[in-house]
Amino acid sequence: MKKSNLLSFLAGAALALCAAVYVPLSQAQAPAHVYELRIYHAPPGKLDALKARFRDHTVTIFNRFNMKSAGYFTPQENPDNLLYYILEHPNKAEADKNWAAFNRDPEWTKVRTESEVGGSLTTKIERVWLDPTDFSALK
C-alpha cells in the first residue's frame, strides 16, 4: 500500500470523525478514549464477503462488548482489497479485555466459521493505536 493512500485515508477519516463529533477547541479536554485503526487485507474476490460479515454480524457483536465503531472505509482505488475501520475504546486495557471476550463469543465463532467455509476472508490484519492530540475535536 502506498504511503500517500494511507495518509489520504487518515486525513479523510479524521475530518469525517471531527465533523461527526465536533467539540469547540475552547472546550478541549484530556483524551478520554483511545482509537484503534484496523486494516484488513482481503484475498482477491473476498472483500464483498468481508464487508457483508461486518455489516450483517460483526458490528452488532462489537456493540455488545463496548467496542464503539467510529467508521468503516474502503479506498476509492482499492487494488489491494483493503477495509479500514476505527473503533473507540475507553483505554487500551479495556480494548484488549473486550477483544478477548469478543473472540470467545459463541455467535462470533459461528459467524466467522460459516463465513470462511470457502477460505479465510483476510490475509493480514494491521492494528494501530491512536491518541487524540490536545487540539483534536475527538477526545
pLDDT band for position 33 (50/70/90)?
confident
pTM for the model stands at 0.76
pLDDT band for position 96 (50/70/90)?
very high
> Cβ-count burial of 68 within 10 angstroms (0-12 exposed, 13-18 middle, 19+ buried)?
middle
- The position carrying cell 479536554 is 29
Residue of 65, 38, 55 whose CA lies nearest to 122: 38
> Are the C-beta atoms of residues 8 and 92 closer than 8 Å to each other?
no
* Rounded average pLDDT over 32-40: 93
pLDDT band for position 137 (50/70/90)?
confident
> Are the C-beta atoms of residues 47 and 83 closer than 8 Å to each other?
yes
Across the beta sheet with 82-89, the strand order is 68-73, 82-89, 34-41, 124-130
Cell digits for 123?
490475509
* Rounded average pLDDT over 59-71: 96
Phi, psi of 85 (to 5 degrees): -150, 160
Give the per-residue pLDDT at 71: 94
* Rounded average pLDDT over 108-116: 97
Give the domain 3-130 fold: Alpha-Beta Plaits (3.30.70)
